Amino acid sequence: MWLASELMFFAGLFAMYFTHRSVHAEQWFEWSSILNLQFALVNTTILVLSSVTCQMGVWAAEEFRPRRTGSLLQVKKWGVVEWYTLTFLMGAFFIAGQVFEYAELYQAGLDVSSSYGAVFFITTGFHGLHVLGGLIAFLFVLGRVFTAKRYGHLEATSAVVTSYYWHFVDLVWVALFVTIYFIR
């Protein structure tokens, strides 16, 4: 139910985006030209790949493998800790990339005083807050792994549920990315 409510929330943000775009079309042509597509594509790729590492962590959780069973270089033997730590770092890198992009756009003159700036920062900013929420969830899952005396179904379930949220956040970003950077 909670993911369904999140879906409705982002549907509202998309509705706002397309409504403002239709009303202030001239701003979209002016401001969208300053977006750094190459940087955003790299940042998006990192976030999408974090869904892969998250899923690898889910498979480790389903096998009740909280930690790696081999050397650090034996990726196939990684556990939830290694996969979710990597996912966390990739998500944190995405957030850092968003902050960098915001700073560049602000220096170029884009702020919330224009319709485009307001909509851009609101949609991507709320998504960024959701990514931060996912990062906090990963910390809880990792903390649960470290504090559990025996890794069992409860810990594995928390890892799986966290992955649902992370995949959702990634999917929303792909839709936002295509909408903002490709639809002209």
CA distance 23 to 18: 9
Instruction: Name the E strands within 31-136.
Output: none
What are residue 182's phi and psi, to 5 degrees?
-115, -30
Instruction: Write the CA distances from 180 to 10, 14, 40, integer angstroms.
Output: 14, 10, 10
Q: Assign 77 a pLDDT band (cuts: 50, 70, 90).
A: very high
The H-assigned helical ranges of 24-36 are 25-32
pLDDT in tens, 126-159: 999 999 999 999 999 999 999 988 989 989 999 9
Average pLDDT rounded to a whole number, residues 73-88? 95
Q: What is the DSSP letter of 75?
A: G
Average pLDDT rounded to a whole number, residues 29-45? 93
pTM: 0.92
Residue 100 is encoded by which pair of tokens? 């960098």
Q: Are 14 and 88 in contact (CB under 8 A)?
A: no
